[in-house]
Amino acid sequence: MEKQEELAKEIILTPLEWYLFKEDPSVFKEKLQHIAAPPLCGRVFRGGETTYSCRDCAIDPTCVLCMDCFQNSIHKNHRYKMHSSLGGGFCDCGDTEAWKTGPYCKIHEPGASDQTTDFRLSEELLDQAKKVFPLVIQYIMDMLIWEEKKCLPLYLHTRSMKSSQYYCVLYNDEHHTYDHFIYSLQRSLGCDQKEAQTFTTVAEREGRSSVKKGTLQQCQKVSESLKFNSENVSLKPFRVEVLHALIIAHQKFAQCLAIWLNKLLAYSSDFRQIFCQVCLDQESRPNVYHPCYISMIILWDVKLHKEVRKILHDLIFSSFFMETEYKKLFAIEFVKHYKQVQKEYMNDDQDRNISVTAISVQVFTVPTLARLLIEEENVIKVITETLLDVIPEYLGSDNKFNFQGYSQDRFFIVYAIICDLKYILICKPTSWSEKLKVKFLEGFKSFLYVLSCMQGMEGISRMVGQHVEMDSDWEAAIAMQMQLKNVLMLMQEWCATNDDILLKCYNECYQSILRCYTPVATQQKKPIEMCGHSYKSYPFQVSKDPISIHLPLSRMLAGLYSHMCRTGVIARLCEIIAPEELQVERIIEDPLRCLVLVGQVAAEMWRRNGLTIVSQVFYYHDVKCREEMYDKDILMLQIGASCMDPNSFLLLLLQRYELEEAFTKVAVPTKDMDLARQRNILIEEMLHILICITGERYVPGISDITREECTMREIIHLLCIEPMAHSAIANSLPETENTDICLDKLISKVATFKKPGVSGHGVYELRDEYLEQFNVFFYHYTKTQRSKAEHTQKKRRKQENRSEALPPPSPPDFNPAFRNVINLLSCDIMMHIIRIILQRAAAEDQSMWTEGMIQMVLHLIGLGLLEEKKQLQKSTEEEVTFDFYHKATRIGSAVVNSQSAVTLLEKLKSIAQLDAQKDMIVWVQQVFEAVKSLRETSGQTAFVSAGVSKADEGQSPQEKEKRKRKAEAARLHRQKIMAQMSALQKTFIETNKLLYDTTVEVHDKPSPAEESFLTTDVGSKITLGPNRGPSVPVKEVLTCILCQEEQEVRLDNPTMVLTACVQKSTTLSQTRGKLVSHTGETFDPLFTNPEMSYGTHTGSCGHVMHVVCWQKFFEAMQKNTRQRLHVEPIFDLGNGEYLCPLCKCHCNTVIPIIPLESQHVKSADAEAISCILSLSNWLDVVAARISGYNLNTIKGERPVVPNFSKILKDQSCEFRSILSFGVQAPPRYPTSTEGMLVHFATTVFRVGLNVSPNESDPRMPVMTWNTCAFTIQCIESLLQDDEKPLIGSLQNRQHSGLKALVKFAEAQRVTCPQPFILKHLVRLLAVFLPNMTLDGTPSFLSVDVFHLLVGSVLAFPALYCEENVDLHPSPLVAAYNHLYLFHLLTMTHVLQIIMASVTDDVPSAEIDDCEEAHSAAALCQNISQLTSNSLVIHLPGWYIWHCVKKGIMPYLRCSALFFYYLLGVMPPEELKSTGNADDQLEALCSFLSLPTNLFLLFHDYWDTVKPLIHRTEDPFSFHQHFK
């Protein structure tokens, strides 16, 4: 092929260049190099190429730079984004319309080029080009735009046409898979797989491949065969053509000629202009019915294969897009054919990035072009009509969309058309011509028709009596809403730039809504009466009638109304709609129904409708959709409240929520608890909507605030939930790409950055001055977020010894158009609702009210009082018309209103169920008093405002004294704990016996605070320490492979066991071939050498049996074997060996399956203990406990007498000090389970030491810990070698086996004498505890640290045992024990790695000057100073960090596996996927409560860990060992 191309160049292209240039082409091209380069870069991106977009200077996010231009521009010092191009776009460098500043890089800046402009193309050359270019272009078009039955043009007819050679050409598509192509080619051609793969690869790369050369009949036969075979695997056949060999040759040469022409155009603007003129010239076409060449390229694009498309697109980019005037002409031609091209592309199976439709982004995003196309070609109307034309099958007879059974592939094209509409609107006009106004209005009306087709689409009715059989397709409609979100916002912003346009568009939208709202003619308005007020409306029940969540027309009207208020155009509304003709009820009806639907879904009234409605409601509130759905519905109700009588508005609200009867005098409790719960939730939802209507004013137009202030408020409320990383904040906010909002500046303004610590990543914490803006009923909170934020803020206030009331912040003033909304708070119906709810709570009828209702009522009262207070401070009492105070303190005339709201509030303080709201009630009472004072002494507000701003400062003396006593008691509590230990020594056993009985009750029924905690901290993914996440067990139902009965794994159910095989293993041996010199009878397995010559491995095939079934099976096998004495068995029954009944795997024991128990660490208790249980204190407490035990050793055993050094000199610890932090009853196991615990432990002991079984041997628990540690290390090594994720990638048998093994190792301790366990624990702790030494203990340098960790953690509960009472540490105390053991052992392992690296030769590598390197160097220097320079580490910090990071990873991975299966805390997502080492290290440190800079442990614990470093022996003697 290359030879043929060289030949074509030599025979045709070179003479053509001679003819064109009139001189040596190489010489002339050299001259062309001196022509000044164009100011536009124009580099066409290929798929995967990196592009850059400046967030500060780009007009819109589609403006990008190539790498060379970016590196040489001012934008590299700005905020920018990197993208991976899909291919097809080009660099915008030099386009002054794409950038606010810095449109040119240094390369393309005018005058920056070294090229001179002396050389000019002569007129003779240009005339020659005008002759050559039309012929070349005609040839390219004739050859590349081709049909199968077409003949060569007459000017190409030669004698060689008589050739009988043909090609069968196979075209690529995206419908068939790669394997489909290979299969069909093998069947049709009889070729092997390799040849078929070659054909397929060429077709994928170039778009087509010639698969057969031969006669016409042979090629046609292959063509038919390919089509037939492809239909066997897919309903759609291949596209196959049979073309003459000459045609193939001409097409190949035409491609070469197009590439040559493309290179030529890059030299000169004159060449480009000639090319554009020829392509646009209609008169030069031989047939008047044929369009111009550029139109042909656009129209025929869908029929061309990939390689030709790319070549022709490159020609367009290098010609039309480099010349501004011709770019406009191309844009006009593109829009003329836009509708036809998009229709044809619906059936195109190629990627969009190689389609001509993708060029739209390059055309529509240019501001001048966009304006030109709107004025000249009415492009908005063209795009919206195209949108309707491409999906006519989804438009019903009622002119409403219904996307049931939609095609995802077709909808991607619909989304692309919507994106084109966004592109055309992305730059708002600064001035309007008459023509622009006319055309925009036409396009707007067309767009409104699209919205009217979506208004009320896919209505759904509530299922009653039976569940929906199949969920309907809801994704397409929601996805369309997401795509339209930006278009809707841009349309509104366009309208807002011109007052006349805004008014006319509002009127058009208003009329469209009225046309969509058509009540049934036979329906009569239904009246509703309450408190002397009545209102009539058309009957509609959301719970019975069809309802839709899709209301884009209504939300568009709401958006336009807010813009009218913002710009002041609202004053001219009467010009288009007379006030008496404004049908407010009609325009708010649909949004109100939608909000009622959301409330009913929250009340679970729609649970029979499946996931369809639940999913839609989720996206309705989600950040991706809420701006143009939920927010606009709230805005529309605010518009209604501002235009309607407040009592009428509330009556309509009650009617739509179907709560009229709930607030009547005759309302009685219902015995149906489900109905009562639904009614209460609906009342809560309605109250929340009222809070939003009256209190949510942070919308431009509703009040005088900016979009920056709105975004800042969003950030404040996100950070009120918890400190967040930058990415978490950005993901929780609406997109800001199309705005001028700088998110980084807003975050920095309201929050301070907290550097990474144990959590593994830096977070932003809200500044104190913004905490008062917290609104517990912020309308963008989900219920979970609201609960968590409320818990966080109350906890903060409690720590500051302040009132826990969360009053509403004072909202900004409404704009004049919305000022009537506040009258809702003081109208008669609102007062009636408030009194009814408060009276029901005072009557303590719990079925008629909830705490949530009371909290919302208090919030509404607070809003009303703050509004009145604000008005009184600004004006005199006579000028203030808002009268909330008098109405709230007035006693009603009806029976249910016999008491005022103030009186009822006083009664609520004595209700036990409202303890959490007492502070809020006190705050409301304080504000009542403040408003009363303001009314009595109008204008004298200084002392009142000071008293109200901090409610806790204005409390009664009794309240102050009570709070003071609580604070004093909390302060003294921690100081008195240690003093109480001596008294506890005498009464401890009796007291704790009583404690056990109450402990069970507490666990069975958690307190409300604990329930709140469970919902709050459920997402914690830390497994150690006070921040440990909850251990939430998953219900596990297993099937016995013998009796086939299913059973849930629980301690009170029959014991189930897992098949297992215990065996010695040298998998991890570092010294293979080394002889073991000890015998099992005398060997002490407590300390495992890092060499790990061998270990005891436990594996399982994962099959489960009842213990009784397994025993019967094993006995039957023994009996059967005894009867067949002449047959030599393949397994040793005497040693417990058998074959798994199901898979026949070799086994020799069973593991009892122990369920994971639910454990939760309460954050309040964790904070209390953290102040008194530091590492130093913990070490002293442990030392005191061990010292007391040394007096009670086993008879005949040598006492274990360690030496202790005190850490904290000013603190005394006693024997039972350890018990004061929290104990609980240990788990109780059934007798059958304990028997299996002993059985499996005996097998491990027997196999591991190769000795006879001996249940009384003290080494039994040690072998249990060792097999647990060794098995985990083997699995970690396997996962590392296979490059699999640490969590979630194990096979089921490995997962089940490891989970059972770890839980067994934890439970086995209860079957052993506790003095045995305690003695082992003391010896283990003596290795690494800094304050403890024991004769005969090996150096920590010669012990495997992970084995130490497993043994210490599993044995540590033995420290809590008393003589007559078996105790266990509480979950919180256990979390601290695990944390401190792990931190100490991690530091021990770091020291091991450093000592092993002392004599290393430092390799020559790039120095990593990071924080960890500095910390490592500082640690080595401190070690040298501590050892008086007897241990000097001459290694650079970066190398020490490199060694530690590499050496610590296996230990951290093993620890993560161990604690994951031991505690059941969910790990971070990063551990469930493969990633780079740094990401894995960060995730591991986060999960294990470590700082990512491990050397910070030494910094935090330096004074405590110094004695451990003092013990270090000569590290050089161990260096070779570690190697």
Look at 563-572, 776-785, 1213-1222 and tell me which has the smallest mean pLDDT. Answer: 1213-1222
Q: Given pLDDT bands bounded at 50, 70 and 90, which one contains residue 1012?
A: very low
CA distance 311 to 1382: 63
3-state SS track over 1137-1183: CEECCCCCCEECEEEECCCCCCECCCHHHHHHHHCCCCHHHHHHHHH
Q: Given pLDDT bands bounded at 50, 70 and 90, which one contains residue 1197?
A: low
pLDDT at 1016 over 50: no
Helix (H, G, I), strand (E, B) or coil at 191: coil
CA distance 881 to 1216: 69
Q: Which helix (H) or strand (E) holds 1011?
A: helix 1008-1016
3-state SS track over 588-610: HHHHHHHHHHHHHHHCCCCHHHC
> Sign of the C-alpha dihedral, residues 168, 174, 178, 179?
negative
Residue range 515-539: mean pLDDT, rounded: 82
Distance, CA of 1197 to chain centre: 59
635: which strand partners? none
Closest CA to 1373 of 1394, 1393, 1351, 1357: 1357
Q: Given pLDDT bands bounded at 50, 70 and 90, which one contains residue 347?
A: confident
Q: Which helix (H) or strand (E) holds 38?
A: none
Closest CA to 152 of 140, 143, 144: 143
Q: How far is CA 413 from CA 343, 346, 350, 383, 1308, in A?
A: 10, 7, 11, 13, 63
pLDDT of 331: 94
CA distance 1095 to 1066: 6
DSSP string, 394-441: GB-TTS-B--TT--HHHHHHHHHHHHHHHHHHSS--SS--HHHHHHHH
pLDDT at 944 over 60: no
Amino acid residing at 750 = V
The number of beta carbons lying within 10 Å of the beta carbon of residue 884 is 27
CA distance 194 to 790: 65
Closest CA to 710 of 724, 690, 696: 696
pLDDT at 945 over 50: no
Helix (H, G, I), strand (E, B) or coil at 65: strand
Q: Which residue's entry shows tokens 């063509």? A: 223
pLDDT of 991: 41
Q: Given pLDDT bands bounded at 50, 70 and 90, which one contains residue 1420?
A: confident
pLDDT of 748: 92
Structure tokens belonging to residue 1115: 């006995």
pLDDT of 736: 67
Judge contact between 591 and 635, C-beta under 8 A: no
> Sign of the C-alpha dihedral, residues 177, 179, 180, 184?
positive
Structure tokens belonging to residue 839: 């009276």
pLDDT of 976: 46
pLDDT of 1059: 94
Q: pLDDT by residue (tens digit) across 1217-1235?
A: 787 778 888 888 888 888 8
Q: pLDDT by residue (tens digit) across 15-54?
A: 888 888 888 888 887 877 767 667 788 888 887 888 999 9
Determine how β-strand 533-537 pairs with β-strand 526-530. antiparallel
Distance, CA of 300 to chain centre: 42
Q: pLDDT by residue (tens digit) across 1336-1348?
A: 888 888 899 999 9
pLDDT at 552 over 50: yes
Where helices occur in 157-303 by DSSP H, the ranges are 178-189, 193-206, 216-233, 245-265, 269-280, 293-299
> Sign of the C-alpha dihedral, residues 1471, 1475, 1479, 1485?
positive
Structure tokens belonging to residue 108: 């393309």
- Contacts of residue 141, Cβ cutoff 8 Å, sequence gap at least 6: 293, 296, 297
pLDDT of 522: 63
Judge contact between 1150 and 1240, C-beta under 8 A: yes
Q: Given pLDDT bands bounded at 50, 70 and 90, which one contains residue 739?
A: low
Look at 101-110, 933-942, 1083-1092 and tell me which has the smallest mean pLDDT. Answer: 933-942
Amino acid residing at 1401 = D
The number of beta carbons lying within 10 Å of the beta carbon of residue 1519 is 16
Determine how β-strand 1332-1333 pairs with β-strand 1203-1204. antiparallel
pLDDT of 413: 84
CA distance 473 to 709: 38
Q: Which helix (H) or strand (E) holds 5?
A: helix 2-8
Closest CA to 913 of 862, 856, 841, 858: 841
CA distance 1290 to 1276: 10
Judge contact between 1131 and 1138, C-beta under 8 A: yes
CA distance 896 to 969: 43
Q: Given pLDDT bands bounded at 50, 70 and 90, which one contains residue 741?
A: confident
- Contacts of residue 1410, Cβ cutoff 8 Å, sequence gap at least 6: 1438, 1441
Residue range 460-484: mean pLDDT, rounded: 89
Find the length of the chain.
1523
CA distance 56 to 58: 6
DSSP string, 327-344: HHHHHHHHHHTHHHHHHH
Closest CA to 1518 of 1277, 1338, 1334: 1338
pLDDT of 992: 42
pLDDT of 785: 93
pLDDT of 1399: 66
Residue ranges of E strands in 1330-1401 = 1332-1333, 1368-1369
pLDDT at 1521 over 60: no
In angstroms and rounded to an integer, the radius of gyration of the C-alpha atoms of the chain is 40
pLDDT at 882 over 90: no
pLDDT of 1300: 93
Closest CA to 902 of 921, 883, 882, 880: 921
pLDDT of 60: 82
Judge contact between 185 and 200, C-beta under 8 A: yes
pLDDT of 1084: 86
214 or 900, greater pLDDT: 214
pLDDT of 1005: 37
pLDDT at 758 over 70: no
Look at 137-151, 167-181, 238-252 and tell me which has the smallest mean pLDDT. Answer: 137-151
Residue range 771-800: mean pLDDT, rounded: 92
Q: Which residue's entry shows tokens 């890092």? A: 1090
CA distance 1333 to 336: 89
Structure tokens belonging to residue 1260: 């039994």
Q: pLDDT by residue (tens digit) across 891-923?
A: 654 444 457 888 888 888 888 888 889 999 999
pLDDT of 1002: 32
Tally of CA atoms within 13 A in the half-sphere of 1062 that contains its CB: 26
1523 or 13, greater pLDDT: 13
Amino acid residing at 911 = I
pLDDT at 1476 over 90: no
- Contacts of residue 649, Cβ cutoff 8 Å, sequence gap at least 6: 640, 641, 824
Distance, CA of 1264 to chain centre: 41
Structure tokens belonging to residue 1348: 């130490």
pLDDT of 1018: 40
pLDDT at 602 over 90: yes
pLDDT of 1130: 60
- Average pLDDT across the chain, whole number: 83
Q: pLDDT by residue (tens digit) across 692-720?
A: 999 999 999 999 999 999 999 999 999 99
The number of beta carbons lying within 10 Å of the beta carbon of residue 1008 is 11
Helix (H, G, I), strand (E, B) or coil at 547: strand
Helix (H, G, I), strand (E, B) or coil at 535: strand
pLDDT at 981 over 90: no
Residue range 1492-1517: mean pLDDT, rounded: 76
pLDDT of 973: 43
Percent of the chain scoring above 70 in pLDDT: 86
CA distance 44 to 524: 65
pLDDT of 999: 36
Judge contact between 829 and 531, C-beta under 8 A: yes
CA distance 211 to 187: 13
pLDDT of 40: 83
Judge contact between 1416 and 1444, C-beta under 8 A: yes
Q: Given pLDDT bands bounded at 50, 70 and 90, which one contains residue 1190?
A: low
Q: pLDDT by residue (tens digit) across 69-113?
A: 999 899 988 888 888 887 778 888 988 888 888 888 988 887 755
Instruction: Report CA dihedral (1065, 1067, 1071, 1073) to the nearest 10 degrees.
Output: 60
Q: Which residue's entry shows tokens 């589609």? A: 62
CA distance 1096 to 1063: 6
Q: Given pLDDT bands bounded at 50, 70 and 90, which one contains residue 1475?
A: confident
Q: How far is CA 114 from CA 33, 34, 110, in A?
A: 11, 9, 11
Which phi and psi (to 5°) does residue 1295 adopt? -60, -50
Structure tokens belonging to residue 427: 């730059």
Q: pLDDT by residue (tens digit) across 1384-1408?
A: 999 999 998 888 877 666 776 666 6
Residue range 517-531: mean pLDDT, rounded: 78
Amino acid residing at 186 = Q
pLDDT at 1075 over 60: no
CA distance 785 to 779: 11
Residue range 437-441: mean pLDDT, rounded: 95
pLDDT of 813: 92
1379 or 1215, greater pLDDT: 1379
